[in-house]
């Protein structure tokens, strides 16, 4: 089955380049292309969409983070990957907190973007190397909070494994659980930590430990 892709990007050159890549690569189906958050929120085929590449610096009143937040509220299992030139800590934190499943820089080679998409589909949280370092550095330098997320030992073990990049399937095999039980644990973790994605959960956990 093909991985269905939508693109939210205002740069015609970037849109055209990746449209060509997705339509010409077996295993991918390009569903739609949108030039603004407003257009995407109006026309993106949520019933069919699986992965959405979202630019941050979009024209109009809504930026990419706003778009991510709204799409998450409409369909919680949508895989939203930031695809941007922005590398600042504030944008990173806002995007991950809004529900982005990964953060990929536009200078990333197309082959690595395809790999990142597959990693996300398999339950991972792909990030460009420099972005992953920034996430860890940003939270390592932050003030430690006394907030207790009240995670069980199993939940803490799972989130530590998430930080190592294990997918849902790998988590199930590692802990001897069913995929359904893993999803239940993840849902509980997200609720306790007030986040909506594994990348945000890992970042928040790293920042408080």
What is residue 207's predicted lDDT score, i.e. its pLDDT? 65
DSSP result, 127-143: B-HHHHHHHHHHHHHSP
pLDDT above 60 (res 125): yes
pLDDT (tens digit, 9 = 90+) per residue, 80-121?
A: 999 999 887 778 888 888 889 999 999 999 999 999 999 999
| Count of CB atoms situated within 10 Å of the CB of 33 | 21
């Amino acid at each position: 089955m093909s991985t269905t892709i939508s693109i939210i990007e205002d740069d015609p050159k970037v849109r055209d380049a990746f449209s060509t890549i997705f339509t010409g690569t077996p295993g991918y189906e390009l569903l739609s292309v949108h030039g603004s958050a407003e257009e995407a929120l109006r026309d993106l085929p949520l019933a069919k969409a699986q992965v959405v590449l979202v630019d941050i610096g979009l024209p109009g009143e809504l930026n990419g983070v706003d778009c991510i937040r709204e799409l998450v509220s409409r369909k919680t299992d949508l895989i939203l990957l930031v695809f941007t030139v922005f590398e600042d800590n504030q944008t990173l934190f806002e995007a991950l907190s809004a529900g982005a499943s990964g953060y990929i820089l536009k200078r990333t080679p197309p082959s690595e973007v395809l790999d990142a998409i597959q990693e996300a589909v398999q339950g991972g949280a792909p990030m460009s190397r420099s972005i992953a370092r920034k996430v860890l550095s940003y939270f390592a330098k932050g003030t430690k909070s006394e907030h207790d997320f009240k995670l069980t030992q199993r939940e803490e073990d799972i989130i530590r494994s998430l930080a190592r990049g294990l997918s849902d399937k790998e988590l199930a095999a590692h802990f001897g659980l069913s995929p359904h039980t893993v999803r239940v644990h993840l849902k509980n973790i997200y609720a306790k930590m007030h986040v909506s994605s594994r990348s945000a959960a890992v970042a928040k956990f790293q920042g408080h430990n």
